[in-house]
Structure 1
Amino acid sequence: MVKCPRCGYENSPSSVYCDNCAYRLADAEGNRINNSQRQSSWNMGLGKKIVIVLGIIVVAFLLFSFVYNNTQPSYQDSLNVITDDGSNYQTSSYPYKAVIKYDGSWYAEMGDPNYLVKESGYGNKSFVLDCAAWDKIAIDAQKQDSGEGNLTVQLLKNGEVVDEKSTANASSHLVINYNY
């Protein structure tokens, strides 16, 4: 007996068509038609499909994160102030340098007034300012301790002092505004 895949009727083994619904059971030569579902490479459970798709998404996310993090500048690369020991030649692309002289602890904000960079330190330091020749320059410095010495702030342009201020007062601010 041959069971019809459409209606389930039991037909005789020699039947080409189903006696109940006329569904074709054999071809012209009498070969039985295989009505089973086709096998495909994507024929797997829903759970496996979800795991594969999630795995692809996770790998893509990790790859994107790795590429993104390796193309971003580091914290040190993104600072606007470059510490200078004075041994390097001052280039004309950044002509300004701030020099702070004090034998103690100090705090300063310097650079373009709209984008001041905050620095604190101890002792004498110099900083190349990320400002063009036509930019406004602001420096605000103060002592962080009650030391007796003078706090001196100099603004240099192409190696020459263009403004200098000094104080011995522990609570006062030294302010230099240039190109205003």
Structure 2
Amino acid sequence: MVKCPRCGYDNSINAVYCDNCAYRLTDHKGRYIKNTKRVNKWDIGIARKIVIVLGIIIIALLLFSFIYNNTQPSDNETLNVITDDGSVHKTASYPYEAVILYEGSWYAEMGNPNYLVKESGYGPETFTLDCAAWDRVAIDAQKYDYGEGEFKVQLLRNGEVVAENSTTNVTGRIVINYNY
């Protein structure tokens, strides 16, 4: 029996090639090749293996990040409303505005009830509220100067008044809660 130096298979004594892997067992003069250490082309050090694996992981993460970031819809696309008939109604990124109509000084808290923004001012002002179309909106406004004029607050959605309240009381306070 002749042992193949490549795969270790026991071949017949007359075999020129290994019956298992077709490795040449004799040289050009017909002499059997001695068993030598099997050469592994992939025999690399552990450090190189770690570097290769880490490199593959980093490339995979970068590729995933690139694909994820380039497939996410923009802010305007996420605020579009698709109706039952499949048509798309485009809305503004922030469709709500608060309008305070008063000729004196005032103070207001407005926006999403969980994240109210505090503003104060003098005279009429309009604020774009950081609320999406599906958010609840709250406005709590009050006169600061105890004036006698009309204090009016409006909530606009895409430019149309959806809620409005006013008072002429000197300590006038207005609260608007709007659920789309």
If the length of structure 2 is used for normalisation, what is the TM-score?
A: 0.49
